Amino acid sequence: NETDLRKVILESIDLIRPAASEKRISLTFNHVGEDYRTIADGKRLRQGFANILSNAVKFTPEGGDITVTLERGVSAFHLTFSDNGIGIETRRLDEIFE
C-alpha cells in the first residue's frame, strides 16, 4: 500500500503525546518537504514508531526532549529518533529487533 511516512509519524506522535505531556517532555518533528510517500504497511510502521516513541517517553527524564527527524535520501528515507534519556547499553543493542 502507498503510505505517507510523514503522516504515519505524526499519527504516532499524537498517540504518545498525552504520556509525554504528563512528564513535560517536548516532542519535535523535523522534516523538509511534504512528499514522503512509499510502499509500506502504514499500520505496522505506526505501531513500530509508537513503540519507539513510547520507550523514549518512558526513559526520558521529566522536562526532557524527544526529536524525530525524517529526511529523503537519494534512494531511501532516513528516520532518526533522539532523546536525552538514559540510552541503551551497547551490549544490548543486538536484542532490540529480535
pLDDT at 90: 78
pTM, two decimal places: 0.86
Q: What DSSP designation does 23 have?
A: T
Relative orientation angle of helices 5-22 and 42-59, to the nearest 10 degrees: 30
Question: Residues 77-98: pLDDT tens digits?
Answer: 999 999 988 777 777 777 766 6
Per-residue pLDDT averaged across 58-75, rounded?
A: 93
Question: Residues 15-61: pLDDT tens digits?
Answer: 999 999 999 999 999 998 888 999 999 999 999 999 999 999 999 99
Q: 97 phi and psi, to 5 degrees?
A: -100, 15
pLDDT at 62: 95
Of 54, 80, 77, 58, which Cα lies nearest the Cα of 67? 80
CA distance 20 to 13: 9
